[in-house]
Amino acid sequence: MEALEIIKKFDISGEVLSCEPYGEGHINNTFLVITRHEDRRVRYILQRINSNLFTDVDKLMRNITSVTEHIRAKLSQEGLNPDRGTLTVVKTIEGGLYAIVDDRYYRMYLFIEDATAHQTVTRPEDFYYSAVAFGEFNRRLGDFDASTLYEILPNFHNTVVRFANFKNAVERDVMGKAKDVQPEIDFVLKREHYYSKLVDLLDSGEMPLRVTHNDTKLNNVMLDNVTGEPVAVIDLDTVMPGSICYDFGDSIRFGCNPCGEDERNLSLVNFRIDLYESYLKGFMSAVGDVLTEVERDNLAMGAIMMTIECGMRFLTDYLEGDTYFRTTREGQNLDRCRTQFKLVSDMEKVLDQLNEMARNIR
């Protein structure tokens, strides 16, 4: 079916002028739709949802609308524009959250104008403002019952399960690669005491269950084109119940490494503690009194956990024949795991300092 016929499934304003591929996302196919409504142009984002990854699209979209409606109410209370401050789901002409066309799933959002999602950290202030954005995201969802959300990707940050999967990959060694990566395998095994820490705190109730974004990279924050300040958090596909330390930690994993994720020269890979401090300040300035002391005490551990989890997953995939993460060259997943482990080592050396910052920055 042609794009125009798909677009007509949604309750949009005006005559369709164009529909073109848009953005740099790797999961869903994204298009920019432009319409003419009266004397102005209106833009929308149309996406074909990757139903191979997100197998229950109905639950996926219910998660997104539950969270965005809650945020919209908070934005209205704060005197802010809900259409600009969060994703706005455009319903189908029949009132649905998505359309099914030729066994493919489509959704539509209003385009957030005069803002940009940056792919990399080129200015420290962008990283700081992304922290503000995710802090505000957590504050506005602080009274949302996270247990009502569906677990779209089960055990996504369950490091106990990730470690079990890793050990299974080492034991099976289907590609015969384990003998060549023993130092990396030992790195993971020696840190077994980490893997149950956050999971146990959540299970015991000592750490509150929160709405977690689970992909807290800079490119999932829209920053104002003029002021550079945060406008909205986007890409809510992986919104699930979890720990706030997961989201904080994944931002640090991504943003405090000055190199590419697959950098081969590990001497160039260094944990930037100055960027950690900047992100922490931005996050704390926005999250308000939502954080508990247990969460505050485990923010730095969250950074270590998300980084070693990511490295563990890269190494698992390498051992299993590169079947999950897309690669463009031989050994890329091994290089990716090594950068993560280098960052973990760097963070471990300054963990006391990172914890002190988290306790003192309010």
What mean pLDDT do residues 285-296 have? 94
Q: Reply yes or no on whether the pLDDT at 24 is more than 80.
A: no
Q: Reply yes or no on whether the pLDDT at 326 is more than 90.
A: no
Whole-angstrom distance, CA of residue 240 vs CA of residue 154: 9
Residue 258: the pLDDT is: 86
Phi/psi of residue 325, each to 5°?
A: -80, 135
Q: Reply yes or no on whether the pLDDT at 33 is more than 60.
A: yes
Q: Reply yes or no on whether the pLDDT at 120 is more than 80.
A: no
Least confident stretch, 231-240, 252-261, 350-359: 252-261
Q: Label residue 14 by pLDDT band (50, 70, 90).
A: confident
Q: DSSP letter for 235, please.
A: -
Q: List, for residues 247-272, the tens digit of each pLDDT value.
A: 999 999 999 998 888 999 999 999 99
Give all domains of the chain, ordered by start, each with its CATH number: 3-113 (3.30.200.20), 124-360 (3.90.1200.10)
Residue 167 sits at the vertex; the CA angle it makes with 166 and 173, to the nearest 5 degrees, is 90
Q: Label residue 307 by pLDDT band (50, 70, 90).
A: very high
- Structure-model confidence comparison of residues 4 and 225, the more confident one: 225
Q: Reply yes or no on whether the pLDDT at 130 is more than 60.
A: yes
What is the rounded average pLDDT for all residues in the chain?
Answer: 94
For 96-132, b/e burial (b = at least 16 CB within 10 A) is: ebbbeeeeebbbbbbbbeebebbeebeeeebbbbbbb
What mean pLDDT do residues 116-140 have? 91
Whole-angstrom distance, CA of residue 331 vs CA of residue 344: 20
- Give the global pTM: 0.93
